[in-house]
Chains A and B, each alone.
Chain A
Amino acid sequence: MSNFRTFILALTASFGLPWLCLIIIPAIKYQALTPVAYDKDADGVDGYYPPAPINRQGQLVYAREGCAQCHTQMIRPTQLALDGWRKGWGQDQEARPATPTRANTLLDYLGEPYAFLGIQRLGPDLTNYGWRAPTRQEMHQMLYAPRQRHEWSNMPAFKNLYTVQLAQGPKSESALKLGKSYAPEAGYEVVPTPEAEALVDYLLSLKKDNPIPGITAAAAAAVKK
């Protein structure tokens, strides 16, 4: 019996060590993380980092529809991959930005119950989508009829987030402007549900390349020299 106990103890020890180091201690330490205040003189900005939380209602729709299966939310550093140099994947929307978009840190996702870093990258990365997002109308069009914008797109059409209703009186302001093959029957219009609006709010709130207190400003200064 004592050998049985030794066996169980050995199993516990061999698995307990990584369990403590990778899960338990980091999870406890994570609870102590709080937003960091910017230093106006050094960083040139006021307020806190990260500045604003994401839109949680929209994130729930994002989770429910499984968007993370094909869209990532994680910019890798330039020594590993070229994510940072992709056009429009950061705040700088110019064709050839002077500096690459910075890689993400743990604090970028502070306040999110779960960060949807993503499973595959079958579609573009959405980490900083809020900067490059088109108008709400265009975003709704993309969600309702992805192939209206790109014929080759393999994105699912999320028609369940929209209602087709009888157009009465003046056309609804939020009604989608759709091409011929995607438009509803004459006399009907497509309007977003509150869920679709929340999803768009969430996508617009994705701006995860705010300057890191004390680091990004110094890096930018180094480039200028």
Chain B
Amino acid sequence: MQTPSSSADTDLQADNLRRAAIDKSVKGPVLFLFVNGAFWLMASTILGVLAALKLFAPSFLGDCPVLQYGRLQPTHINALVYGWGVQAGLGVMLWIMARRSGQELKSGKSVLYVAGVFWNIAVTLGLVSILSGGSTSIEWLEMPKWVWPIMLAAFLCFAWPMTTMFARAFRPEGFMVSTWYILGACFWFPWIFVTANVALHCLPGLGALGTGINAWYIHVLILLFFAPVAIGSAYYFIPKITGQPIASMQLAQMGFWALACLGGWSGMQHYMGGPLPGWMSATGSLASVLLLVPVGAVGLNHHLTTLGKHNLVASSPTLRFTFLGAVFYPVSGIILALISTFTTGPTLQFTNAWYGYQIVAVYGFFSMCVFGAIYYIVPRLTGCEWLSVRLIRNHFWFSTYGIATVVITSLVSGIQQGGDLNHPEMWDQDFYQLVMNARPYMVARAFAWALITWSNIWFLVHLLLMVAGLGRRSSAPTLLHHGHEETSLPHGAHA
């Protein structure tokens, strides 16, 4: 006769076996995406250092055409967005979707490998083309026009199994907020990507309207791909580590649908006062300010879910990165609103503030959440624990301070630049003062990217050691603080 506790044990064991089977089914593709993503992230930050250096020392490393700012900067951003962002995002999406819907990856693993390889070949060729003089100078789409069909096909290879998992596990009564966001990202990315590429590469030329579509593409890719992946991951890991359910289902639902409805309208305000019809920038500006509502709702929800468990932020690497990422979401929303209104926008238009927004959204918000996810997922896939607390701590603090520096200096320098450009007394002046005023900020930016590069090199090494199976053999996870009873994680956090 079974006692209740032993039946609970059996249940737990069955649960663990099921989880292990799911992890095993997605192990290869997910690790492949993470390792390649981490490599591109490191490459992108090194390019970031060089690009920032070129802004105050244009002849640094000679006048080699490959290393001029006009080619380095797009390569830096494209490596960050497509090499790291989309790739690592896909890894996190695949794992969370499989786990959350309780489905193993049934078949087609080899297709995923091939798709991953092709994605990386496409990114490599695209970036080399930009550096060697094939740039289209269409922001975020600088890679030559034959690259995008390969990337689209590779993305769809990953999106398809995720969609079937979602559909199989869809329960009418259950609202699974993290998988909603992730399915949304699977769904929106191809749509946005095809629209922008067909409009800009295949149609006979849309002039200034094309430039507006380009601005729309960047904003919408951030709001409807990077943001959903990061929010989905935060909604999955914050409750898991803190052991508390998501604070409010209404807030979560409202945050999702408001983002879905408003996100697509944002973007055209980037060229406010430009040749586009006025209503386009007006709606874009309106949507970007209204987005503060879902952004605030999600931020509040994450805050309430973490409430009372802040000690875990100190001890769990996953929660620490995710928490910081979740804080950066409202921050990026506020910066978006600032560059989008017709009061502050014209000052910040065409300045470093735009770069600050891209970095706070793609790095500060999205990447921090993805780092958190990686610190959780990788030990479960490789069967060993992270080697060194010090390396994780290094990664965290160098990234945090580095990103904060890049974003703050970009914003402040943007305000300065915009003020200089719009100052009545500057009407007949050349750009001497502007160049001189921007210089210290660019030095700071180069320094900050160097700090981040340092942290990313160690992140890549740490990740490679884990993938090679050289991690700690232990049943206890690597935590950043030990010895306090209250910091021990709730049981579910180990699952």
Contacts and interface: CB of A to CB of B under 8 A. Distances in A.
Contacts of A62: 137
A106 B208 contact: yes
Contact of B55 (A63, A105, A109, A122): A122
Interface stretch (A38-46, A146-154, A184-192, A217-225): A146-154
Contacts, number: 225
Contact of A26 (B209, B267, B417): B209
A44 B423 CA distance: 35
B264 A19 contact: yes
Interface size class of B (residues with CB under 8 A): 35 or more
Interface string B64-86: 01001111011000000000000
A170 interface: no
A37 interface: no
B293 to A, nearest CB: 15
B276 interface: yes
B187 A66 contact: no
Interface stretch (B107-115, B198-206, B453-461): B198-206
B70 A70 contact: yes
Contacts of A122: 55, 431, 434-435, 438
A120 interface: yes
Interface stretch (B17-25, B154-162, B345-353, B485-493): B345-353
A81 B70 contact: no
Interface stretch (A110-118, A133-141, A172-180, A196-204): A110-118
Contact of B265 (A7, A18, A65, A76): A18
B135 A64 contact: yes
A130 B401 CA distance: 45
A114 B342 CA distance: 25
B207 A106 contact: yes
B211 A114 contact: yes
B168 to A, nearest CB: 10
Contact of B421 (A81, A113, A146, A150): A81
Interface string A19-49: 1001100110011000000000000000000
Interface of B: 54-56, 58-59, 63, 65, 68-71, 73-74, 133-139, 142, 166-167, 170, 172, 180, 183-184, 187-188, 191, 195, 199-200, 203-211, 213-214, 216, 224, 257, 260-261, 263-265, 267-268, 271-277, 280, 283, 342, 346, 349-352, 354-355, 417, 421-424, 426-428, 430-432, 434-436, 438
Given A95-B428, A110-B207, 16 more contacts: A3-B170, A4-B167, A4-B170, A74-B273, A76-B349, A80-B273, A86-B428, A106-B275, A112-B205, A117-B275, A119-B350, A121-B351, A122-B431, A150-B430, A160-B63, A160-B65
9 nearest CB pairs, A to B? A66-B70, A18-B264, A113-B205, A76-B273, A160-B65, A63-B137, A109-B207, A121-B350, A87-B428
